[in-house]
Amino acid sequence: MRALEKSDRSSQTRFAMISVVIAANGQEVALAETLAALVPAAADGFVREVVVAEAGPSRGTRLVADAVGCVIVDGNERAGLEAARSDWVLVMAPGVRLETDWFREAGVMMQRLQRAGERPVAMLFRAAIDDYGWRARTREILLKLSRRRRRRQAVLAPRRALLAEARLGFHALRARAFTGGAGTGS
């Protein structure tokens, strides 16, 4: 009886697997930071694959992506979306690091959206600057006010809707997407 209850509980917390698409643009150090932050979600089985789209001839980016087992495609973000195999795709900019438990909240929201059967919705992460002090908090406020900038950091949405460039509603997640410190350009 207890074994049955355990299996029921684990099936309720099981989420659909997603693909992650990162347009690297020759930023191998930033790519390595982003890939390292995805490890907990991959270990839990939430991330199915990571597709790195590289438009230029960056050997460093390809080495980093190949070393961790990413799928590497030539081209831009769209080429990465076309190569992704999952129904849901997390599109990220290199250098963005998500909070450790982001995938739990995103998975629950994905399940709710699939059950509701409404129009496709994209999920945005709260922007956060990985630094201390008033300058970092000021930049966070400016990022919050700039919805367009936030979309460039990390968006989780249905793959079909992104490929069709459909107009999507947005849901703001509580999980944060960290970018570089106040003194950096990222």
pLDDT at 140 over 80: no
What CATH class does 14-179 carry?
Answer: alpha beta
- At residue 82, the pLDDT reads 97
pLDDT at 1 over 70: no
> pLDDT tens digit string along 20-78?
999 998 899 999 999 999 999 999 999 999 999 998 877 889 999 999 999 999 999 99
> pLDDT tens digit string along 141-156?
676 666 554 456 789 9
- At residue 183, the pLDDT reads 39
Q: Which of 56-60, 107-111, 125-129, 170-174 has the lowest mean pLDDT?
A: 125-129
- At residue 185, the pLDDT reads 43
The predicted model scores a pTM of 0.81
pLDDT at 133 over 80: no
- At residue 9, the pLDDT reads 38
Short-list 47, 18, 22, 49, CA closest to 152: 22
Banded pLDDT at 10 (limits 50, 70, 90):
very low
- At residue 120, the pLDDT reads 79
DSSP assignment of the chain, as one string?
Answer: -HHHHHHHHHHHS----EEEEEE-TT-HHHHHHHHHHTHHHHHTT-EEEEEEEE-S--HHHHHHHHHTT-EEEESSHHHHHHH--SSEEEEE-TT-EE-TTHHHHHHHHHHHHHHHT-S-EEEEEEEEESS-SHHHHHHHHHHHH-HHHHHHHEEEEEHHHHHTT---EEEEEEEEEEE--TTS--
Domain boundaries, the chain: 14-179
Banded pLDDT at 114 (limits 50, 70, 90):
confident
Mean pLDDT of 103-126: 86
